[in-house]
């Protein structure tokens, strides 16, 4: 007589149970990964077409970030400057340098410099610079010590878990009035922490945690 259910089929319930467990572990793993602040592109620092240095211009020369990133306070996106902005100085400064000659050539041809993007959120996540700058969150909280970088490098993961970590406890990142958001040296003080706590308590500052705030 032929066997309709060969012996190994006795194992099916066990295999099914094991598979279900494995699938469960995978789902937990995927969720944990995406929601973890550590899911990350930290360290990404593409080589740029012109060896522009923030350490020199923003650090040593002390230029304000907003001289070049003019839109950061007023709109969702921080712009990278047009070569016009650079030429304010480099029409005359270091015209012997091959790097400046690349800049001048692009400028004279009316072509943009193709800077590589360093920080990039996926399209489905909404972010607005001005909303953060307005309440006193400094550039350093999200971009690190750009004034010490020869080449810009991503220092924070920009993951959902990272966004939420600050939204749940923003006080250490909130600067009091009078401290520039571009100040790279600022650290929270007990005064700034209590002032921040008061603004949060008064619901003057309300970082959202609901999904539709960032996924619209
Ligand atoms: C003289 C103009 C200038 C000044 C001043 C300046 N930047 Fe930049 N910034 C640039 C240019 C050009 C780029 C694109 C090339 C690069 O990444 O180095 C850039 C890129 C960046 C990026 C990376 C953008 C991306 O692609 O994700 C960040 C972040 C940034 N700047 C922050 C700052 C901060 C913070 C300051 C002030 C401490 C500052 N910048 C001052 C010109 C400037
Ligand atoms: C406020 C004036 C000013 C602006 C604006 C400015 N620079 Fe400069 N840049 C300087 C000075 C000053 C130096 C240093 C010159 C020296 O070596 O003594 C310099 C040096 C450089 C160098 C190094 C040149 C070399 O070979 O050593 C590069 C590259 C450069 N700048 C690119 C840029 C770019 C790109 C921009 C626009 C995003 C820009 N600069 C905007 C003043 C400026
Ligand atoms: C709360 C976090 C946060 C703060 C504060 C912040 N940034 Fe950003 N920045 C980001 C994120 C996130 C991106 C990537 C945006 C995207 O891909 O849409 C970004 C991108 C940029 C870019 C690339 C251009 C763009 O908009 O994609 C520049 C330049 C920049 N920031 C400069 C600055 C400067 C200058 C300051 C301070 C005046 C600042 N940022 C403050 C989070 C921040
Ligand atoms: C260092 C702290 C900090 C980080 C990091 C941060 N935020 Fe915020 N965010 C805030 C604060 C504080 C507010 C409240 C602003 C207010 O009440 O006006 C806010 C408000 C917002 C808002 C509501 C205002 C608006 O633009 O509609 C959105 C959306 C938002 N954040 C998205 C993000 C996203 C996406 C990220 C991660 C890529 C992020 N934030 C990272 C501090 C932060
Ligand atoms: C403060 C802003 C913010 C809030 C609030 C938020 N998210 Fe996100 N979310 C993000 C950002 C930024 C990313 C992209 C992270 C990355 O690139 O790694 C993301 C990514 C995701 C992803 C990953 C998509 C993929 O590529 O697999 C899912 C799923 C998600 N969010 C669901 C949610 C749900 C559900 C909620 C509400 C409980 C929520 N988010 C609330 C900012 C937010």
pLDDT tens per residue, range 104-149 = 999 999 999 999 999 999 999 999 999 999 999 999 999 999 999 9
Question: How far, CA to CA in Å, does 141 sit from each of 95, 107, 173?
Answer: 35, 33, 7
For ligand 4, say whether the CB of 173 is within 6 Å of any of its atoms: yes
- The mean pLDDT of 189-213, rounded to a whole number, is 97
Q: According to the model, what pLDDT value does residue 166 have?
A: 98
User: Which residue CA neighbors atom 11 of ligand 2 most closely?
Assistant: 93
- Ligand at minimal distance from the CA of 128 is 4
- C-beta of 112 in contact with ligand 5 (< 6 A): no
Our mutation pick for probing the ligand 2 site, out of 48, 49, 51, 57, counting the most ligand atoms within 8 A of Cβ, is 57
Cβ 94 under 6 angstroms from ligand 2: yes
* Mean pLDDT, the chain, whole residue set: 90
Which one of the ligands is nearest to 202 CA? Answer: 4
Question: What's the CA-to-centroid distance between 129 and ligand 3, angstroms?
Answer: 6
pLDDT tens by residue, 57-99: 999 999 999 999 999 999 899 999 999 999 999 999 999 999 9
At 184 the pLDDT is 97
**C-alpha dihedral over 40, 152, 65, 82, to 10 degrees?**
-110
With contact defined as beta carbons under 8 Å apart, do 147 and 54 qualify? yes
Whether residue 165 has its Cβ less than 6 Å from ligand 5: no
What is the reported pLDDT for 163? 98
CA distance 31 to 134: 32
CB 29 within 8 A of CB 22: no
Q: What is the distance between the alpha carbons of residues 56 and 10, in angstroms, rounded to a whole number?
A: 72
């Amino acid at each position: 007589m032929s066997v309709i259910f060969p012996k190994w089929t006795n194992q099916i319930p066990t295999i099914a149970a094991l598979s279900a467990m494995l699938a469960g572990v995978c789902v937990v793993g995927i969720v944990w990964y995406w929601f973890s602040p550590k899911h990350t592109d930290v360290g990404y620092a593409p080589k740029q077409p012109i060896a522009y240095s923030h350490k020199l211009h923003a650090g040593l020369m002390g230029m304000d970030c907003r001289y070049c990133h003019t839109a950061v306070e007023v709109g969702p996106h921080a712009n990278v400057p047009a070569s016009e902005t650079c030429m304010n100085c480099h029409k005359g400064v270091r015209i012997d340098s091959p790097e400046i000659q690349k800049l001048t050539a692009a400028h004279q041809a009316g072509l943009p410099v193709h800077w590589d993007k360093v920080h990039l959120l996926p399209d489905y996540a909404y972010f607005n610079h001005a909303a953060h700058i307005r309440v006193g969150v400094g550039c350093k909280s999200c971009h690190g010590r750009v004034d010490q970088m020869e080449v810009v490098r991503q220092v924070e993961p920009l993951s959902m878990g990272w966004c939420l970590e600050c939204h749940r406890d923003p006080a250490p990142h909130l600067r009091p009035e009078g401290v520039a958001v571009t100040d790279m040296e600022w650290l929270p003080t007990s005064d700034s922490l209590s002032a921040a706590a008061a603004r949060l308590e008064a619901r003057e500052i309300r970082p959202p945690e609901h999904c539709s705030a960032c996924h619209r």
